[in-house]
Amino acid sequence: MSKYIFVTGGVVSSAGKGVTAAAIGKLLKERGFDVSIQKLDPYINVDPGTMSPYQHGEVFVLDDGSETDLDLGHYERFIDTSLTAVCNVTTGQIYSEVISQERRGDFLGGTIQVIPHITNEIKRRIGLVPQTMKAEVVIVEVGGTVGDIESLPFLEALRQMRSDIGRENTMYVHVTWLPHIGATGELKTKPTQHSVRELRSIGIQPDVIIARSDYPIPEELREKIALFCDVEPREVIPLTTCKILYEVPLVLEHEGLGEISLSRLGLIRRCAPDWSEWEKLIAAVETDKPKVRIALVGKYVELQDAYMSVCQALQHATLAVGIETEVVWLHSTDLENDKGWKDLESVHGIIVPGGFGSRGIEGKIAAARFARQNQVPYLGLCLGMQVMVIEFGRHVLGSESVNSTEFNRSTSHPVIDLLPEQGSITEMGGTMRLGLYPCKLVPGTIVAEAYNQELVQERHRHRYEFKNTYREIMGENGMVFSGLSPDDRLVEIVEFANHPFMVGCQFHPEFLSRPNKPHPLFRAFMESVVARVQDLTEEESKTLYAEQSG
Ligand code: GLN
């Protein structure tokens, strides 16, 4: 029988519930348990794959090709386990399942209701996690905040689970936010009290309250929350905003949440947690380091969550190579309008991440041109690889009409074109080339050296691909096809022979980067950035290494 930890949120969204759920997973994993984490999303979309990145941030992709909420990225990075389709459930999925059962006649004329039909389906979905994955402890996070109409069926299902499977197998964690009143310099607990009251009115008494804040939380507030919310003071865990996300499990450990969770669930620790690697990360953040500037040329830069995994992967690599990175957010449409160029000229490396649609594409192409002509390290991720190919195609073929058919259907040179199997697809959701695919690396290339492997597996999410008719001419002019599908049919990675590091990959390496295992491509990119800084001027290089050895 698996044990369950249910994580709900109160007061405001974006308080860090997803990271908290991931960190609790890490506490249990460090104690020797198999952990899986599931997100229940109250929106009616079937999955976030068709949603604008402006609404919910990045779409995270799993090995099995599921398009999921970005919190699954946090889960995987913290517990270092590949999650599967069962780990992200939306209201849309629940209703479409129940409605199709009803249409099939499965309910024999019965009235279909939220309780019990919808709640039963929610509980069935939760049960699928331990049935299909190795999970002694299942952590279930409910999206949104308590008080939302939409999340009520999920909360009701969680309430029922305590009596279904027993008190000793369930634990409820409520994550709230303490607002800070600037005029008096005080933190307030009232919204937390209200949120817990709301949760109790639904029938859920939290076992632990995690109080989030940007400011240190005085001991008396902890006691006050405990008193008003019927928990012990040690079960109120203060969690002040950390310097990096990977500090959160260390804070929760220090506050005793690991042992509180075990005793609540009747589990006995199998091994002592070893935090040495994560402590090293925090120490690395706190050390003074030389700083580099990396441009992130995107089209959704107003909402940085749209690039969550890219930023995390960059941070992992940055910490590993011992420097500090300032991300310079550049809007690709600005570059089209003669804005942002000063910033682009001041950076030590350029990342062009994934994206869809023609807005801002010329700005991305211009950034790729700048990187090629000025030997600036460049990492192109999916669309970032495609713009690298378009830019080079324009240069080699001497024609500005070179393009991807995504942006110009009638281009005379479609160097990037729809994958053959994508041609007949009309439905939007879940129809791209999705999930893990093998890629063989060509010996002697930058990427073969970076990975130090012959065959790698990477996660994809795209409809378009390099068009093979252009392989010869581009190859003759210095483009190296350094990663190919095992049957040679698809170009997965390109790089340039005459450039220190200009690499574009058709997949998303950012999804597989881990805090203590930075992705080889991000790491190699950052190493080339350091090398460039070193080359720039003697002055800069002196400072870099003086600071590093100091
Ligand atoms: N829009 C491009 C395609 O569909 C790139 C997708 C991406 O960057 N994820 O192929």
The structure tokens listed for 81 are 């386990």
Coil/strand/helix, residue 352? strand
C-beta atoms surrounding 548 within 10 Å: 14
For the chain, how big is the Rg over CA atoms in Å?
Answer: 25
Q: What is the pLDDT of residue 244?
A: 92
Ligand 1 touching residue 117 (CB < 6 A): no
Q: What is the pLDDT of residue 302?
A: 86
Is 26 a pocket residue for ligand 1 (Cβ < 6 Å)?
Answer: no
Which sign does the torsion angle of CA 193, 199, 200, 202 carry? positive
pLDDT at 41: 95
The pLDDT value given to residue 537:
61
User: Mean pLDDT score of the chain, rounded to an integer?
Assistant: 93
Distance between CA 45 and CA 35 in Å, rounded? 27
Residues 446 and 497: beta-carbon distance below 8 Å: no
pLDDT of residue 545: 40
What is the model's pLDDT at position 538? 59
Percent residues over pLDDT 90 in the chain = 86
Tell me which residue has tokens 């960059």.
314
186 contact partners, CB below 8 Å, separation of at least 6: 180
Say what angle helices 17-29 and 71-79 make with each other, to 10 degrees: 20
Tokens at 352, concatenated: 């062009």
Query: What pLDDT digit, counting tens, does each position of 23-80 carry?
Result: 999 999 999 999 999 999 999 998 888 888 888 889 999 999 999 999 999 999 999 9
Catalytic pick from 229, 382, 439, 505? 382
Rounded average pLDDT over 91-97: 96
Active site residue 508: yes
Which pTM does this prediction carry?
A: 0.93
Instruction: Tell me which residue of 364, 382, 324 sits closest to 508, measured CA to CA.
Output: 382
Give distance in angstroms: CA of 434 to centre of ligand 1. 11
In whole angstroms, what is the distance from residue 155 CA to residue 161 CA? 10
Q: How many CB atoms lie within 10 A of CB 28?
A: 25
Residue with tokens 């039909």: 117
* pLDDT per residue as tens digits for the range 317-344: 999 999 999 999 999 999 999 999 999 9
Query: Which of the four pLDDT bands, split at 50, 70 and 90, describes residue 422?
Result: confident
Residue nearest to atom 5 of ligand 1 (CA): 383
DSSP label of 450? H
| Sequence-separated (6 or more) residues with CB below 8 Å from residue 424 | none
What tens digit of pLDDT does each residue of 266-315 get?
A: 999 999 999 999 999 999 888 888 899 999 999 998 888 999 999 999 99
In contact, 369 and 390? CB cutoff 8 Å: no
Q: Is 359 in the pocket of ligand 1 (CB under 6 A)?
A: no
Structural domains of the chain in order of their starting residue, each with its CATH number: 3-172+249-278 (3.40.50.300), 288-542 (3.40.50.880)
pLDDT given at position 347: 94
Q: Looking at residues 84-90, what average pLDDT do you find?
A: 96
Q: Mean per-residue pLDDT for 341-370?
A: 95
Mean of the pLDDT values across residues 408-436? Answer: 86
* DSSP state for residue 144 in the 8-state scheme: S
pLDDT at 532 over 50: yes
From 74, 247, 510, 519, the catalytic residue? 510
Contact in structure between 524 and 501 (CB atoms under 8 Å): yes
pLDDT tens readout for residues 170-180: 999 999 999 99
Which three-class secondary structure state does DSSP give residue 338?
coil
Distance CA 221, CA 205 (A): 19
List of residues 6+ apart from 95 with CB closer than 8 A: 44, 118
Whether 382 is catalytic: yes
Residue with CA nearest ligand 1 atom 9: 354
Say yes or no to pLDDT of 542 above 90: no
pLDDT in tens, 432-481: 999 999 999 999 999 999 999 999 999 999 999 999 999 999 999 999 99
Asked if 220 is an active-site residue, the reply is no
Cα-to-centroid distance, 464 and ligand 1 (Å): 6
